[in-house]
Structure 1
Amino acid sequence: MVKLAFGSFGDSLSFGSLKAYLAEFISTLLFVFAGVGSAIAFNKLTSDGALEPAGLVAIAIAHAFGLFVGVSIAANISGGHLNPAVTLGLAIGGNITILTGIFYWIAQLLGSIVACFLLKFTTSGMAIPTHSVAASMTDLEGVVMEIIITFALVYTVYATAADPKKGSLGTIAPIAIGFIVGANILAAGPFSGGSMNPARSFGPAVATGDFSGNWVYWVGPLIGGGLAGLVYGDIFIGSYTALPASEDYA
């Protein structure tokens, strides 16, 4: 069952919450800078900019590494979402209030936008690549692809970081989250672009002024993230029952 809670401005504007928003801003900025920057670097190193297998692998690895670091450095402050779809999925499971989630979204979007403008400045105005669905696909097919891969991402977040029975996973959670993003980019990059993250797609769109098809990277990831929150939160976490206090269990 959906556990959405609106929250209060007192909690959402507390000092701890403000630190969390700043952490989301910084971490998202660093992640997008690395991810988009890897695509710019690939375009600079190739004559025609056409995506090749080696380039796809390099970009996927850059995103995986960047997300691993971004989640790790923000985990103890904000939870390390770096993604509006992750925030929505966790809100559906009752892990964050709607109001605080909105501020997370703002921080994530601003981080992505600033990262793209910094890339534009530091690369002497090189083109910022935007996400788009392959010419051989329809936008609807792109949405479905983004739903599936974002479901996989947010499901992984729940399983490794938000499940109360996860135990002490240490750095395993950010590694797993980075790996699933890298794997999904390898699988979906040539088709839907492999975004899984509205903020990751929105920053380049703002920096270039090109919002064509950007809705795909909002609708798909938000549906996928929301479904993952419902499935893991309801079927798995929601089915946990407290054991008798006298029973010794691990």
Structure 2
Amino acid sequence: MPIYRIAIGTPGEASHPDALKAALAEFFSMIIFVFAGQGSGMAFSKLTDGGASTPAGLISASLAHAFALFVAVSVGANISGGHVNPAVTFGAFVGGHITLLRSILYWIAQLLGSVVACLLLKFSTGGLETSAFALSSGVSSWNAVVFEIVMTFGLVYTVYATAVDPKKGNLGTIAPIAIGFIVGANILAGGAFDGASMNPAVSFGPAVVSWTWTNHWVYWLGPFIGAAIAAIVYDHIFIDDNAHQPLPANDF
């Protein structure tokens, strides 16, 4: 099991220049991702007079998030590993590819990046609402938890297969595309039910700016469980323990 490889990290790691640079990269990548993703929904709603929940709006959100995540992962890959998601960071931690202290730095940067992106959107749109994630009619909180677990499992499993696995070879060059595609596809699958977050930071920013916390716990519990399951499954079954090496500090 990969659990035995979990590492806390050293006290000096939190102030190490490389760790701080990596956290800063996560901060900017998250701004890029949330500004484009959340902004696309706001723009579509404005253009269609509140029609963001239509099929066309769902497709628009899927494409915007897929494209934005592709870019956000790409620009951060060489510095922080391009997690752009607290759940991805948690999955890397469970697999022993990042320490707890470094993970905490990433989480803080990711959450701050999301809040800043939503504040920028609110200011630049003249005060338009950055809507918090919400459950659709007929969808219970536990239905949504299952949705988030399954979708985040697919996301983190893809991250492991294309970015973390030592055997990935040239496949690593398309990791950002694959990661963006799975998020876009999951939004098409789950967006009409619970918004298809898969990312606690993406849910956190709008919740802070709009100060709406109804069922917010769903968007933390589901993604973290899904990420942990994906990390354990992929690392235990497909990554040989003898070949396992924690990735460098500037990677996952």
Could you state the TM-score of these two structures normalised by the residue count of structure 2?
0.93
The counterpart of 1:143, out of the listed 145, 154, 157, is 145
Unpaired runs of 5+ residues, structure 2, are 245-252
The Cα of 1:173 is off from its aligned counterpart by: 0.3
Deviations 1:8-36 (A, max 9, x none): 12123211111000000000011000000
Q: Which residue of 2 aligns with 1:75?
A: 77
Helix, strand or coil at the partner of 1:171: helix
| Contact 2:52–2:58 (8 Å) recurs in 1 | no
Q: Which residue of 1 aligns with 2:60?
A: 58
Q: Which is worse superposed, 44-53 or 128-137?
A: 44-53
| Contact 1:39–1:129 (8 Å) recurs in 2 | no
Question: Where does structure 1 differ by over 2 angstroms across 4 or more consecutive aligned residues?
Answer: 47-50, 168-171, 238-242
Deviations 1:117-158 (A, max 9, x none): 000000000011211111111000000000000000000000
Q: One-letter code of the match for 1:192?
A: D
The Cα of 1:74 is off from its aligned counterpart by: 0.2
| Contact 2:41–2:52 (8 Å) recurs in 1 | no
The 2-side partners of 1:209 and 1:49 are apart by 23
| Contact 1:64–1:179 (8 Å) recurs in 2 | yes
The 2-side partners of 1:114 and 1:208 are apart by 13
The 2-side partners of 1:145 and 1:97 are apart by 28
Matches within 5 A, 1:201-212: 201-212=203-214
| Contact 1:28–1:82 (8 Å) recurs in 2 | yes
| Contact 2:73–2:82 (8 Å) recurs in 1 | yes
The 1-side partners of 2:90 and 2:240 are apart by 17
Q: Which residue of 1 aligns with 2:127?
A: 125
Q: Which residue of 2 aligns with 1:245?
A: none
Matched, 1:215 2:217: yes
Structure with greater Cα Rg: 1
Helix, strand or coil at the partner of 1:144: helix
Q: One-letter code of the match for 1:55?
A: G
Deviations 1:40-92 (A, max 9, x none): 00110112335111111111000000000000000000000010000000001
Matches within 5 A, 1:143-162: 143-162=145-164
The 1-side partners of 2:94 and 2:143 are apart by 25
Could you state the TM-score of these two structures normalised by the residue count of structure 1?
0.94
The Cα of 1:236 is off from its aligned counterpart by: 1.1
| Contact 1:40–1:128 (8 Å) recurs in 2 | yes
| Contact 2:135–2:195 (8 Å) recurs in 1 | yes
Q: One-letter code of the match for 1:68?
A: F
Sort the Cα spacing of 1:239 and 1:16 in 2 relative to 1 into closer, same or farther, 3 A. closer
Q: RMSD between aligned alpha carbons?
A: 1.3
Tell me how many residue pairs correspond in the alignment. 242
